[in-house]
Amino acid sequence: MAAAYLGKPARMRSHSYARTIDLLYAAAVHGRDWPAVLSAVADYVGAEGAMLVRHDFVTGKANLVVGRLRADLNDSYMRDHAANPLAVGIAGRSAGRPAVGSSILSRDRLRRTALYADIFAPQKLEESVSLPHASLTHATASGGLGVVLNARQAEAVDTVAARLGRLAPHIARAIDLMLDVEASRARLHRLEAMAMALPTAAFILLADGLLLEANAAGEALLAKGDCLRLEARRLTGATAAQDAVLARLRHAALSRAEAEAPARLVRALPRGDGRPACFAIATPLPPLPSSVLLGRDAGPCLLLQLADPTAPDAPGIAALQRGFGLTSAEARVAALVGAGLSAPQAAARLKVSAATTRTHLAHVFDKLGIRSQRELVRLCALLDGGG
């Protein structure tokens, strides 16, 4: 007879144990449809509704998603009831084990609280069962998945708790998965924002070359097929020689990062058409958290920049002027020679005499504290990536 008190049998039959588990993991991966999934959980256990919630007792704020509960009461709950007596009591309970609300706060005492007046009574709710989650629950916070019951369902609260306990391992894993996926997306968003702000062609990729993001300059470079191309979502060199350089650069940068050595590396990327080489700058980035699509060990990311110091608006020129006090003429010579041109070639490009170019170059070496064109090449490429 207890089953007769589990709410709405027709809906329960439509959400079996296996189906409810499938819905939980799907929501965790895709980050959507939680209201529908929480409704399915409520149907399976025999509750009026369910919520995914986190209470922060220090800030006095709560975050929640509800299923088959009044969404218009969410703001009131988050604003006024983050530290309600049930939430505080749950903080002392074991994670992963269902906690019946009346075992924390009797129903008589619950009915005398603002939580009951503002949230429970308007929805004709009388009882709750919470499933604290380990990473969301500690001394100053509580969180996890909870279900709420009307008076009729509350008569079978032990059965509801048992059903929720059966789902508990899957709910815990689904929440962990959701947190991992959200952290991965947030970190990738920060990396994307950083790459988008760079003036040079910039790409975020995995160690095997799988492209995750490119900024506008990078997309323009790919469209021209200059030095790089995209094959099956992997960033490769436009020629075999360029691809070999990129592969060695990725490997060297990541190897040095693992050894905790200075990891930013620069390599000349030959064009093969008579133009001066571009410079490929590789900077290892922190690994992405576990990713559903890429596997739990997606590995570290790499920021790859392609710098062309011969470009008229090369950002390295401005960086040289700002950072080292070079004149505009000196910075222009530095950028061209740093790109691999000889002093006479730079003079021809700038349409000045070779003697003038050599004078500018001597001033550049003195102000930058360097002695060779090789050092200038490396410095210009680095500044082009960060200027």
Query: Domain limits at 385?
Result: 309-387
Residue 281 sits in the same domain as residue 323: no
Q: What is the structure's pLDDT at 197?
A: 60
Averaged confidence pLDDT in the chain: 81
Residue 274 sits in the same domain as residue 326: no
What is the per-residue pLDDT across 20-44, written as a single tens digit (0 to 9) for each? 999 999 988 887 789 999 999 999 9
What CA–CA distance (Å, rounded) separates 367 from 209? 38
Most confident of 209-213, 221-225, 262-266: 221-225
* 189 occurs within a structural domain: no
Q: What is the structure's pLDDT at 385?
A: 45
| Closest to 85 measured CA to CA, from 38, 128, 121 | 128
Residue at which a domain ends, from 277, 308, 339: 308
What CA–CA distance (Å, rounded) separates 16 from 6? 14
Q: How many residues does the chain have?
A: 387
Residue 242 sits in the same domain as residue 268: yes
* 373 occurs within a structural domain: yes
Residue 19 sits in the same domain as residue 159: yes
What CA–CA distance (Å, rounded) separates 64 from 85? 17
310 DSSP 8-state letter: T
Task: Look at the chain and report how many structural domains it folds into.
Answer: 3
Residue at which a domain ends, from 285, 308, 331: 308
Residue 163 sits in the same domain as residue 14: yes
Most confident of 119-123, 269-273, 307-311, 362-366: 119-123
Residue 271 sits in the same domain as residue 366: no
Residue 134 sits in the same domain as residue 208: no
Apex 373 CA angle, 369 and 377, nearest 5: 90
- Tokens 């990129």 label which residue? 246
Residue 8 sits in the same domain as residue 116: yes
**Low-confidence winner among 19-23, 351-355, 372-376, 379-383 (lowest mean pLDDT):** 379-383
Residue 290: pLDDT over 50: no
CB atoms within 10 A of CB 352: 16
Residue 94 sits in the same domain as residue 46: yes
Does residue 76 contact residue 89 with C-beta atoms inside 8 Å?
Answer: no
* 191 occurs within a structural domain: no
Which CATH number goes with the domain that contains 154? Answer: 3.30.450.80
Q: Binning pLDDT at 50, 70 and 90, where does residue 2 land?
A: very low
What is the per-residue pLDDT across 114-128, written as a single tens digit (0 to 9) for each? 999 999 999 999 999
Residue 127 sits in the same domain as residue 15: yes
Residue at which a domain ends, from 291, 308, 325: 308
Residue 145 sits in the same domain as residue 214: no
| pTM of full prediction above 0.85 | no
**Integer CA distances (angstroms), 256 to 252, 253, 261, 282, in order:** 6, 5, 5, 11
Residue 95 sits in the same domain as residue 157: yes
